[in-house]
A and B are shown apart, each in its own frame.
Chain A
Amino acid sequence: MIGARRDSAQRRVSVVIPCYNGERYIADTIRSVLRQKHDSLEIIVVDDGSTDGSRSAVASFNGEVVYLQQPHGGAARARNLGVERASGALLAFLDADDLWTDNALRALAAPLERDPALGMTVGLMEQFVSPELPDGARHGFRFSPDPVPARMCGTVLMRRSEFDRVGLLSPHLESGEFTDWILRAEAAGLTFATVAELVLRRRLHLLNHGVVRRDARKDYVKVVKAALDRRRAAAAPEGPA
Chain B
Amino acid sequence: MKAHDVYRVNSPQVVYENIDGELILVHMEKGAYYTTDEVGAALWDLIESRCTVSEIREALGSQFEAGPAEIEAATASFLEQLVGEELVLREDPASDRTPHRRPLPISKRPFRAPDLQSYRDMQDMLALDPIHDVEAAGWPVPKPDDASVTSQYA
Interface residues of A (CB under 8 A from B): 18, 20-22, 51, 75, 95-98, 127, 134, 136-137, 139-143, 148-153, 175, 179, 182-183, 202-204, 206-215, 217-218, 220-222, 224-225, 227-228
Contact = CB atoms under 8 A, between A and B. Distances in A.
A214 B136 contact: no
Interface of B: 12, 15-17, 19-20, 22, 24-26, 28-29, 33, 35, 122, 124-126, 128-134, 136-139, 141-142, 144, 149-154
Contacts of A149: 124
A214 B143 CA distance: 9
A26 to B, nearest CB: 9
Given A207-B151, A208-B154, A140 B137 contact: yes
Given A95-B153, A96-B154, 13 more contacts: A96-B152, A96-B153, A140-B133, A141-B132, A142-B131, A150-B124, A179-B125, A208-B129, A210-B130, A220-B28, A221-B16, A221-B19, A222-B19
A176 to B, nearest CB: 8
- 7 nearest A-B residue pairs (beta carbon): A140-B137, A210-B129, A212-B151, A95-B154, A137-B139, A75-B153, A221-B17
Contacts of B132: 140-142, 206, 208, 211
A106 to B, nearest CB: 22
B133 to A, nearest CB: 5
- Which of A22, A75, A141: most chain B Cβ within 10 A? A141
A150 B125 contact: yes
18 contacts: A51-B150, A96-B152, A139-B137, A140-B132, A140-B134, A142-B29, A142-B132, A142-B133, A179-B126, A183-B125, A206-B139, A209-B151, A212-B151, A214-B12, A214-B144, A217-B15, A218-B17, A221-B19
A22 B152 contact: yes
Nearest to A175: B129
